[in-house]
């Protein structure tokens, strides 16, 4: 499961929907440089990070720009999360780092989470690699890395990363699909292409969101997805209804959390079939899990 600065999901939701919230095992990399990847082929500068969840080689300073971020996970047993966030005005990077580090062992994010500028992030599977295109604007950013140890406890930490200079002029890459996240709604086509493709994911809402994409066994309907997710906000399962089984969903891809106005690009490889896109974030305040409030989309790849 993504940790507190990524997928803020209840433990019961993870048990049922876990395949939907993992990250795709991205295209293999060689020698620290991305190869055979649609994202690498876009020509943006590489930001390559290698980590086992407790150590990493993130730079302390980076020029502002749009980056092809590559995360190599050298941990043989656990997935690793890498997320980028900018503290709100009046909050220092050190204060944000302290809040992040203090929250690692908690399932409840600190209040500051919903005030951050969240630029997205990656999850790399054990001994795997993940990649995405992420914009890093000028400012005193924080990069957070988390994983789990052998006892199942979250470990990791955050560190400052100074983004200097001015943003260069940018032209968005050509994409197969644009997924727009508004508050409690996901807009994307009912049918998308199959095969390797680039998606742009934009948060056009007023609160943080992310998207997780999973392939289903073809049995999903609006009703059974809503009924299953509703159980996690206390809505009783209707008489005769059958919740979605864990085996019905297989992970495909996900973004990190995006603040309002933020975008990132991911590569997905879709086989023909039925898919579910959802945001499993909760909050701010008492707002329940967004997917349970209807923030999901069933679509087909053909």
Q: What is the mean pLDDT of residues 257-269?
A: 97
Say whether pLDDT at 214 is over 60.
yes
In this prediction, residue 27 carries a pLDDT of 38
Q: What is the dihedral of CA 142, 49, 107, 100, to 10 degrees?
A: -20
What is the percentage of the chain residues whose pLDDT exceeds 90? Answer: 71
Q: In whole angstroms, what is the distance from residue 176 CA to residue 197 CA? A: 6
Average pLDDT over residues 129-140: 97
What's residue 13's pLDDT? 33
Q: Is the pLDDT of residue 4 over 60?
A: no
pLDDT given for residue 36 in this prediction: 66
Distance CA 169, CA 65 (A): 9
What is the average pLDDT score of the chain?
86
Q: Which residue has the higher pLDDT, 21 or 107?
A: 107
pLDDT of residue 88: 92
Pinpoint the alpha helices (H) of the chain. Answer: 11-17, 93-103, 222-230
Q: Which residue has the higher pLDDT, 199 or 13?
A: 199
Query: What average pLDDT score do residues 257-270 get?
Result: 97
pLDDT confidence tier of residue 107, bands split at 50, 70 and 90: low
> Which phi-psi region, left, alpha or beta, contains residue 27 (left: φ > 0; alpha: ψ -120 to 50)?
beta
**pLDDT band, very low/low/confident/very high, at 204 (cuts 50, 70, 90):** very high
Query: For 17-21, 182-186, 258-262, which range has the lowest pLDDT when averaged over its residues?
Result: 17-21
> What integer pLDDT is reported at residue 134 of this predicted model?
98
Work out the pLDDT band at 35, boundaries 50, 70, 90: very low
Mean pLDDT computed over 73-91 = 94
CA angle 144, 145, 148 (to 5 degrees): 140
Cα 32-195-250 angle, rounded to 5 deg: 85
Angle (CA) 250 252 256, round 5°: 120
Rounded CA-CA distance 190/298 in Å is: 7
Q: Residue 98, exposed/middle/buried by CB under 10 A (0-12, 13-18, 19+)?
A: middle
The pLDDT value given to residue 24: 37
Residues contacting 252, CB < 8 A, separation 6+: 24, 213, 214, 215, 268, 269, 270, 275
Residue 17 above 70 pLDDT?
no
Q: What's the confidence (pLDDT) of residue 138?
A: 97
Instruction: Find, among 253, 245, 252, the residue nearest to 217 by Cα.
Output: 245
C-alpha to C-alpha distance for 50 and 44, rounded to whole angstroms? 19
pLDDT in tens, 144-189: 999 877 766 677 889 999 999 999 999 999 999 999 999 999 999 9
Q: Can you spell out the DSSP letters for 105-145?
A: T-SS--GGGGGSEEEEEEEE-TT-EEEEEEEE-SEEEEEEE
């Amino acid at each position: 499961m993504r940790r507190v600065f990524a997928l803020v999901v209840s433990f019961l939701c993870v048990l049922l929907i876990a395949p939907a919230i993992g990250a795709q095992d991205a295209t293999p990399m060689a020698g620290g440089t991305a190869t055979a990847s649609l994202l690498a082929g876009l020509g943006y500068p590489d930001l390559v990070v290698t980590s086992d969840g407790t150590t990493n080689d993130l730079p302390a300073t980076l020029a502002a720009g749009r980056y092809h971020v590559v995360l190599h996970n050298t941990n043989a047993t656990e997935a690793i999360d890498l997320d980028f966030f900018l503290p709100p005005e009046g909050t220092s990077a050190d204060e944000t780092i302290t809040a992040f580090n203090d929250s690692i062992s908690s399932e409840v994010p600190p209040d500051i989470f919903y005030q951050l500028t969240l630029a997205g992030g990656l999850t790399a599977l054990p001994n795997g690699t993940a990649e995405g295109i992420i914009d890093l604007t000028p400012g005193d950013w924080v990069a957070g890395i988390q994983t789990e140890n052998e006892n199942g406890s979250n470990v990791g930490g955050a560190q400052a990363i100074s983004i200097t200079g001015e943003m260069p002029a940018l032209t968005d890459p050509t994409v197969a699909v644009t997924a727009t996240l508004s508050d409690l709604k996901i807009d994307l086509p009912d049918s998308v292409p199959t095969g390797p493709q680039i998606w742009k994911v934009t948060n056009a809402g007023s609160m943080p969101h992310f998207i997780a994409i999973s392939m289903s066994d073809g049995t999903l309907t609006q009703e059974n997805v809503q009924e299953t997710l509703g159980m996690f906000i206390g809505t009783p399962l209707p008489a005769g209804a059958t919740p979605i089984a864990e085996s019905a969903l297989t992970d495909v891809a996900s973004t990190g959390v995006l603040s309002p106005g933020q975008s990132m690009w991911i590569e997905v490889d879709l086989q023909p079939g039925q898919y579910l896109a959802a945001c499993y974030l909760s909050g701010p305040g008492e707002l329940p899990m967004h997917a349970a409030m209807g923030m999901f989309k069933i679509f087909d790849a053909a």
